Amino acid sequence: MGSKDSLNPLRVAIIGAGPAGFYAAEALLKSDKVDASVDVYDSLPTPYGLVRAGVAPDHAKIKSVTRKYDATAKHPGFRFFGNVTLGQDISVEDLRQHYHQIVYTVGAQVDRRLGIPGEDLAGSHSATEFVAWYNGHPDYAHLEFDLSQESVVVVGVGNVAVDVARILCRTNDELAQTDIADYALEQLAESGVRDVYMLGRRGPAQAAFTNPEAKELGELEDADIVVHKKEAELDPLSSAWLADNPDRLVQKKVGMIQSFADQASAGKRKRLHLRFLVSPTEIVGDGGRVARVNVVHNALVEKDGRMRPQPTDRTETIDCGLVFRSVGYRGFPVADVPFDDWYGVISNDGGRVTDGDNIRPGEYAAGWIKRGPTGVIGTNKACAQDTVAKMIADALEGKTLAPAAPELESAEGLVRSRTSSVFSWSDWEKLNELEVARGADAGRPRVKFTDRAAMVAAVLSGT
């Protein structure tokens, strides 16, 4: 345990430079109870996590939250160590030697599985891969998606499914105004996609997407939205539930979906089919590639206070050449940190990392790896503040790690001895300027670098 006097400053390693990492850094640096100094690590050279690699490129306003993160990065107690991977370049034990506290803000990096036959056929992908690909994430830039297919199924009706469907339906001109990866812009411009089927296993009242996202689906320049009137109607259980629990947002969502069902086709080039009460039962291949999806129609039943889908004997087949599974993210274990496999999060008690029944002193979690992949970006602010409040309380009680070398230069020396291409905040600022300049040439907000080595080379050469 560290003594109070040795905590000047309180040295904190934050693992993951996404929203939760930045909100944790902000809360620590703004605290008047401790004098904190934070090192934010990321395995990518670039910061911002899912704001850069997850938020849809046509949602520029949401991305502008990075200005707040940049303000945090200007604090003298903030350092960024990009291009450094925990578990590869440095270990948790290394961090214990250099910091009083460690907070894991690594997000939820993998997709949940459907668990149906055919899930791994060629042409069946997780939405997480496609999203990372079109956003230019270096680890996904090499992936290939057969966008020559006319018909695509997107399983799930959450906001990620909406993003995927919308990006597939956008016109080239719409996409060309965004920071979508260059190669994705080119390939989507050549796309043969005409029909996109989003599959919701429950009804309109249970759709996971939020209202502004649903509204956008009805306003696509070159895609008609198609909703079956029968599927837009509320089943008796949902009607009764809404009558007992009048929820303005759900009522609005259902109203919007029903108005889509009333819309006549405007004869646009593409169609976005928003389906409800259907579950995929098998992805069927032809010659090893996706050819169609078998679905079963569901009825809703109430179980344990939740409306659940129950298969009926009605089935249907949707011909398609591409499937995106968008049924939620899942956390991935961090080496040497206890993991709760059932919930897909780091084992924790309100943000304090636990090992069985015991708290692991000095180790914390915030964001999706603490509570699971739910909520919008801002949800991570309250989540990180809650964890930081516990970190500060523990620090004031002297319940921290007892690092042998808490000096600023020791941590930096360690990191630079392990990898030669560490990205500092000023390196990122240079890369950012280069991306924005490349964008200006192309009339776009930025043209991203999508390869780690190219990022490093660009910063070194200034071009």
List contacts with ligand NAP (CB under 6 A). Answer: 114, 155-161, 163, 200-202, 206, 208, 213, 279, 326-329, 373-376
The least CB distance from residue 152 to ligand NAP, in Å, is: 16
What is the total residue count of the chain?
463
The residue (of 209 and 364) whose beta carbon lies closer to ligand NAP is 209
d(CA 184, CA 195): 19
- DSSP H or E run through 40: strand 36-42
d(CA 206, CA 228): 16
d(CA 33, CA 90): 30
The residue (of 77 and 328) whose beta carbon lies closer to ligand NAP is 328
The least CB distance from residue 222 to ligand NAP, in Å, is: 21
The neighbour count for residue 163, using CB atoms within 10 Å, is 26
The least CB distance from residue 333 to ligand NAP, in Å, is: 20
Q: Which amino acid is at 169?
A: C
The least CB distance from residue 306 to ligand NAP, in Å, is: 9
Environment class of 340 (CB within 10 Å of its CB; exposed 0-12, middle 13-18, buried 19+): middle
The least CB distance from residue 368 to ligand NAP, in Å, is: 8
CA 114 remoteness from chain centre: 18
Helix/strand/coil for 447: coil
The least CB distance from residue 212 to ligand NAP, in Å, is: 7
Give which of 175, 200, 177, 179 is closest to 190, Cα–Cα: 175
The least CB distance from residue 206 to ligand NAP, in Å, is: 6
Q: At what angle do helices 19-30 and 66-73 cross, to 10 degrees?
A: 40
The residue (of 290 and 395) whose beta carbon lies closer to ligand NAP is 290
Pairing of strands 329-330, 339-340: unpaired
The neighbour count for residue 113, using CB atoms within 10 Å, is 12
Residue nearest to ligand NAP according to CB distances in the complex: 158
Q: Which sign, positive or negative, has the C-alpha torsion 225, 226, 229, 230?
A: negative
The residue (of 32 and 304) whose beta carbon lies closer to ligand NAP is 304
- Fill in the DSSP letter of residue 122: B
d(CA 122, CA 145): 9
Do 360 and 327 touch, CB atoms closer than 8 A?
no
The residue (of 361 and 445) whose beta carbon lies closer to ligand NAP is 445
The least CB distance from residue 120 to ligand NAP, in Å, is: 16
The residue (of 28 and 205) whose beta carbon lies closer to ligand NAP is 205
**Exposure string (b/e) for 37-50, b if CB count within 10 Å is 16 or more?**
bbbbbbbbbbbbbb
The least CB distance from residue 131 to ligand NAP, in Å, is: 8
The residue (of 33 and 306) whose beta carbon lies closer to ligand NAP is 306
The residue (of 376 and 440) whose beta carbon lies closer to ligand NAP is 376
The residue (of 95 and 346) whose beta carbon lies closer to ligand NAP is 346
